[in-house]
Amino acid sequence: MRTLTKLTWVEIKLFIREPMVVVFTLALPIIFLFVMGGVFGNTPNPEVYRGVGAMNYYMPSYYGLVMMAIGTVALPLHLAGYRERGILRRLRASSFSIWTVLGSQLLVSAIIAILGSLLVTVLGLATYSPDLPENIPQLIGAFFLGVACFTSFGFFLGAVLPSTRAAQGIGLILFFVMMILGGAGPPPEVMSNVMGFIGDITPLRYVILTLQNAWLPGPDFDWYTSASLVTAGITVVSALLAARFFRWE
């Protein structure tokens, strides 16, 4: 337990010291918040954004964006780099278990996701006056489900991607595809069928739908059971694959 606490604290400091992951997880969502908020404001249009104001749509989406950046950029890069450079080997030789190593990453992911989402919340509320989330307990549930999903997804990528270079390349492609097509970019309603299809097969779509339904008011936005089940499914499958393919060296 003491080892887990120490490692988690060190890993948080290392996360903050790594400019690339800070840009992707903390800075990019805020940049998008200001660009999209500045362009679309928060006036509802029945044609797009599930019929709600753009900012009401995007606030929970950007929570998802923070989580997704952790799962596609931060974790794969971190784990593949640790393995490639022999850091995992060093940790293992000193009796750090797989549970301590991955557990600390899960905790760091949750803490960074909370931090990033709080930033989005404070800055969003201060500038474009979106509605407050309707169902806080549901939002918290959806939030941690999303964190679990993308942490697990990141473990999977970190386990199968053989090198830092591969993690960087594949991670960034996944990041941009998911961001643009998975629900944090243009409204899904304006996309072509192919784009919509690709968006539908990204984990981000379901994480965002679950978050949005917890946030948005009204009978149209109850807890999104099917989306949350898909999210949970991705979490479990990713975790199993990560456990299957994890290598110390």
Partner 1 sequence: MTSIISVQNLRKTYGKIIAVADISFEVAQGEIFGFLGPNGAGKTTTVECLQALRDPDSGKISVIGLDPLRQAQELRRRIGSQLQESALPDRIKVWEALDLFASVTDKISDWHPLLEQWGLAEKRKSSFAALSGGQKQRLFIALSLVNNPEVVFLDEMTTGLDPAARRVAWDLIRAVRDRGTTVVLVTHFMDEAENLCDRVAIVDKGKIVASDSPQGLIASYATGVRVLFSTDKPDLAFLEKVSGVKNVTRRGDRVEVEGSGPLLALVAAALVEHDIVPPDLRVEQPSLEDVFLKVTGRAVVD
List of residues contacting partner 1 (CB under 8 A):
2-3, 6-7, 10, 13-14, 17-18, 82, 85-87, 89-90, 92-97
Q: Which of 212, 208, 214, 198 is nearest to 231 (CA)?
A: 208
Query: Is the separation of the CB atoms in 160 and 218 below 8 Å?
Result: no
Whose Cβ is closer to partner 1: residue 2's or residue 47's?
A: 2
| Distance of closest approach, residue 131 Cβ to partner 1, in angstroms | 40
| Distance of closest approach, residue 94 Cβ to partner 1, in angstroms | 5
Q: Which of 206, 41, 223 is nearest to 136 (CA)?
A: 223
Whose Cβ is closer to partner 1: residue 9's or residue 223's?
A: 9
| Distance of closest approach, residue 238 Cβ to partner 1, in angstroms | 24
How far is it, in rounded angstroms, from Cα 19 to Cα 48?
35
| Distance of closest approach, residue 244 Cβ to partner 1, in angstroms | 19
How far is it, in rounded angstroms, from Cα 129 to Cα 36?
13
How far is it, in rounded angstroms, from Cα 232 to Cα 144?
11
Q: Report the greatest alpha carbon distance in the chain.
A: 59
Whose Cβ is closer to partner 1: residue 101's or residue 208's?
A: 101
Whose Cβ is closer to partner 1: residue 10's or residue 229's?
A: 10
